[in-house]
Structure 1
């Protein structure tokens, strides 16, 4: 991977205005905020494995969601449909990759919601190789309900999002060990 340059223009069709805030910060007011950090390994080898699993969608697929996309890795502008659930109950959540980062000690991406997503906002998955050689996955998000059923679910949605972020960390830990 090569280092990412300046953030490209936001992909068209995002359902929120603050594109890139999960990378540049601060997280915007008026949304629920999420930040979950999980230790997933130690050393450059673990970092390389974690970076690859995040960027090529393996972590997401191993969590148990479907990923429909035309690209093998996350790149700005790439459209993605995340599928949660099974069969006719599968919830389809369209997103677009807003930014990517491929630095010597940090890598990841953020994607934002498109029309038809039950939330409005952005979620980022970033892996870092810390000074003490620990490798950490950080999931950062800001969101608010965009569909009647996510508004009706109230506090269950943030609880689900936190559980999903923690599961991403556990799954990435397993993938790094393999």
Structure 2
């Protein structure tokens, strides 16, 4: 369960778009520049995932490259388990990011990057590439794609300045 389930490791961080995957990039304004520390804290602590309805179990107390995150989410009566490994964590004065890749046992395969940037406002970008890995994800590909967009929309809302009021 600790092996990445795709060969293009690190591609999203290099800005590559591997063939054979669906590629996505979504960006939203989170709030004013003062919201940056809160948004970064929420991203790197797991609060973003919790607000999106995803329970996390981490293999270490601090998010860092190599840490395994086991994501659990309910889809109706079914609980989906989606393990990922953190590939990169970065912090700069006006940028912070987290990138992870899917592990064996995840219903999909690929990478996802969460990037928070501060300028005149704080923006949040989620980008990556993904394709179904599990038989049920391949069989229900249209539903899997819809569900991926739903979770991404939850992530985008979870870090907004007003998210603390709408938990």
- Number of equivalent positions: 164
Distance between the aligned counterparts of 1:166 and 1:136, measured in 2? 14
1:41 and 2:34 are equivalent in the alignment: no
Q: Secondary structure of 1:19's partner?
A: coil
How far the C-alpha of 1:135 sits from its partner, in A, is 0.7
Q: Give the match for residue 6 of structure 2.
A: 16
Q: Give the match for residue 59 of structure 1.
A: 48
How far the C-alpha of 1:157 sits from its partner, in A, is 1.7
The 1:126–1:72 alpha-carbon spacing in structure 2 relative to 1, beyond 3 Å, is farther
- Correspondence list, 1:14-163, <5 A: 14-43=4-33, 45-85=34-74, 89-130=78-119, 133-163=120-150
8 Å CA contact retained: 1:109, 1:124: yes
CA shift digits 1:141-174 (9 cap, x unpaired): 2111111110111222222212211221112113
**TM-score, normalising length: structure 2:** 0.90
CA shift digits 1:28-55 (9 cap, x unpaired): 1110111111111111x21111111001
How far the C-alpha of 1:24 sits from its partner, in A, is 1.7
How far the C-alpha of 1:115 sits from its partner, in A, is 0.7
CA shift digits 1:62-119 (9 cap, x unpaired): 1111101133332100011000107972111111001111111110111111111111
Gaps of 5+ in 1: 1-11
Q: Secondary structure of 2:139's partner?
A: helix
Higher strand share: 2
Gaps of 5+ in 2: none
8 Å CA contact retained: 1:32, 1:158: no
1:168 and 2:155 are equivalent in the alignment: yes
- Alpha-carbon RMSD across the aligned residues, in angstroms, is 1.9
